[in-house]
Structure 1
Amino acid sequence: MATEPLIQGAIILLAFVMFWALKYLSQQGLTKFRSKHRATLQTQRQLIQASRLLARARATTKKSQSQSLAKTALTEADDVIALSPDDAAGHIVRALSLDLLGHHTAALKSFDTALTYPRLKSLSAGERADALVKRAEMKVAVNRRRRNDSAIEDLEEAVRLAAGTDTARIFRLLGECYEYKGLGEKAQWAFSEALKA
């Protein structure tokens, strides 16, 4: 008879410990989830803000205002990169901001960073194709003679990734690169593909 109260006390104690453990562990898990989710939301907010600033900078006709907006977009993009360095979007916005500011070599380096392994996984095939096309345009604009072959590689990869979408711009630029390199037949093929698209 004396063992019954001991067993009941042990069951009550076990129930209390289980209740406390469930409450404590769920709070710990929720705290980790909330902090991770909060950082993701902050990154997305800053990325959206940087993209808006960049769009406004491109649309503005006043050079001083455009430069100011591009610098602010660059600062926001740097904040996004600090929060999420393995996300390619921040690096791409940074590259576009630098390009608008006239820092073409630094913009190319940012595109190169965005299109390397850990960050490359965060881009869809269409986004990767767009980034490759923009990088190829920058390569051609910076130094056509030295970077033409590299631009052709980017554009050929972009054509492969963007199959079935609007590829006229890609084929037009590819045709220009082939033409500059002296590959007349390939240039003619690329221009005809651009007209078909």
Structure 2
Amino acid sequence: MERDVAIQLGILILTVAIFYVLHTLPKRAFSKLRSRARPNNQAHRHFIQGAQLLARARSTKTKSTSVNLAKSAVDEADKALALDPRDPAAHILKAMAETLMGRKASALKSLDVALSPPAVKMLSEREKGDALMRRADLLIGLNRKRRVDSAIADLVEAVGLSPDNSRAFCLLGHCYQIKEMRGEAQTAFQKALQLEPDLKEAHDGLARLAS
């Protein structure tokens, strides 16, 4: 009799223990997930604020106001990165704002981080293509002859990822011109015009080739 009571008591204790675990585990798991998500949500808010500041910086006609807004955008990007250092979008935002401020070397470093593993895996193909184009533009701007081969490699990958990116084709044509690869340059400019017939830079490129 005592043995039966002990067995029943043991079963009751086990049942209560299982109920407790099943009842509290989802709450604990959700609590952990929520605590992990909170910094990312805050990082996203900083990113949105930075993007809005950058848009205002690019639209204003006053140089000093544009620079100040771009600097504020960099500050917001840094805040986002302090919370989520691997976010490539924040690195790209920072690079765009730094470019507007004339800090091309710093912008290039930000894009290098965005395009390096594991951050680059978080970008879509189009986002990666746009980032590659921006990096190529900076490479040419900093030292076009010494870095043109790296820029071409970025642009070839960029148009492969985003075949409708007329600006990337146009910049690729410009790089081929620097290398005196006339046939390749002409093809790239023509492709840019197929995508955007009124693209002035592509028309100018073809005009230079014809002169």
Asked if TM exceeds 0.5, the reply is: yes
Counterpart residue number, 1:22: 22
In 2, Cα distance between equivalents of 1:67 and 1:86: 26
In 2, Cα distance between equivalents of 1:118 and 1:36: 19
Secondary structure, counterpart of 2:122 in structure 1: coil
In 1, Cα distance between equivalents of 2:146 and 2:12: 78
Residue 169 of structure 2 aligns to which amino acid in structure 1? F
In 2, Cα distance between equivalents of 1:42 and 1:73: 15
- Where structure 1 has 5 or more consecutive residues not aligned to the other structure, the ranges are none
Counterpart residue number, 2:206: none
Deviates further, 182-191 or 20-29: 20-29
Q: How does 1:70-149 map to 2 (within 5 A)?
A: 70-149=70-149
Residue 181 of structure 1 aligns to which amino acid in structure 2? K
Residue 64 of structure 1 aligns to which amino acid in structure 2? S
Counterpart residue number, 2:180: 182
Counterpart residue number, 1:168: 166
Secondary structure, counterpart of 2:118 in structure 1: helix
Q: Offset at 1:175? A: 0.9
Counterpart residue number, 2:198: none
Backbone CA RMSD of aligned residues: 1.5
Instruction: Confirm or deny that 1:41 pairs with 2:17.
Output: no
Residue 78 of structure 2 aligns to which amino acid in structure 1? D
Counterpart residue number, 1:157: 157
* Pairs aligned (count): 195
Residue 179 of structure 2 aligns to which amino acid in structure 1? K
- Where structure 2 has 5 or more consecutive residues not aligned to the other structure, the ranges are 196-211
Q: Offset at 1:71? A: 1.2
Secondary structure, counterpart of 1:102 in structure 2: coil
In 1, Cα distance between equivalents of 2:72 and 2:189: 38
Residue 61 of structure 1 aligns to which amino acid in structure 2? K
Counterpart residue number, 2:62: 62
Residue 106 of structure 1 aligns to which amino acid in structure 2? S
